[in-house]
Amino acid sequence: MIFRQLFDEATWTYTYLIASGKGREAVIIDPVIEHTDMYLTLIDQLGIRLVRAMDTHVHADHITALGALREKTQCITNLGEQTDAECVSETFKDGDVIDVDGIKIKTLHTPGHTNDSYSFVMADRVFTGDTLLIRGSGRTDFQAGDPGDSWDSITGKLFALPDETLVYPGHDYKGWTVSTIGEEKQFNPRLAGKSREEYIEIMNNLNLPDPKLMDIAVPANLKCGRS
């Protein structure tokens, strides 16, 4: 399998590029518009063909490259059916299985950070978007976020995956790159040993500033990054 974890240093965003091998079709998850040319160069160098670009949710902190990549490669663009973005070519729903030239990706609706948040499950790994972060979780104070939903998504759906499942998040602010479900169950300070009520209390008192690009990014992303 070809697998690349790419990083946007301006917004601490991870993007993932996956294909089953050289000459095969590829999918990109959570691409950032500023890096469109870099993705296209890498795709070319790896000898793979981009057929699908998927966002885990409508992002508030960066502009998606979904629209730009579709223009350049004619790839299919995807978001969950709960999205307000009308620009994507297809939406997926909870429990769908997307097949990218032999790579099977199951879409798991994991609301909480936003109501349109999904996690993407493969055989040995899960892309958790901003639902579950390494030793953290995505804020729940805008875009129809809900801390109770976040708890239910993480503990009910993600923690039901095998402990050895690799966790690849949508962001990291400390330098972590990958975790496992077992590790997060044991060591995530917001979740380990906490009750649902305690988690809601924590999430309701984070007092985070709005993302710098929020007023630009959300409307832009509802148009797949194309104005």
Alpha-carbon span 101 to 121, nearest angstrom:
16
Which stretch of DSSP H or E encloses residue 19?
A: strand 13-19
- Residue 71 or 210: the one with the smaller Cβ distance to Fe ion is 210
- Residue 193 or 209: the one with the smaller Cβ distance to Fe ion is 209
147 strand-pairing partners: none
Alpha-carbon span 144 to 111, nearest angstrom:
9
Rounded to a whole number of angstroms, the minimum distance from the CB of residue 117 to Fe ion is: 8
- Residue 25 or 130: the one with the smaller Cβ distance to Fe ion is 130
Alpha-carbon span 203 to 110, nearest angstrom:
16
Rounded to a whole number of angstroms, the minimum distance from the CB of residue 146 to Fe ion is: 14
Alpha-carbon span 22 to 46, nearest angstrom:
7
Number of neighbouring beta carbons within 10 Å of residue 169: 29
- Residue 88 or 100: the one with the smaller Cβ distance to Fe ion is 88
Rounded to a whole number of angstroms, the minimum distance from the CB of residue 19 to Fe ion is: 25
- Residue 117 or 180: the one with the smaller Cβ distance to Fe ion is 117
66: Cα separation from own chain's centroid = 13
Alpha-carbon span 107 to 192, nearest angstrom:
25
Cα of first residue to Cα of last residue in the chain, in angstroms, is: 35
Q: Dmax of the chain from CA atoms?
A: 50
Taking CB atoms, the residue at the shortest distance from Fe ion is 130
Query: Are residues 120 and 106 in contact, defined by beta-carbon separation less than 8 angstroms?
Result: yes
- Residue 21 or 211: the one with the smaller Cβ distance to Fe ion is 211
Rounded to a whole number of angstroms, the minimum distance from the CB of residue 114 to Fe ion is: 7
The contact set with Fe ion (CB under 5 A) reads: 130
Rounded to a whole number of angstroms, the minimum distance from the CB of residue 23 to Fe ion is: 34
Rounded to a whole number of angstroms, the minimum distance from the CB of residue 107 to Fe ion is: 17
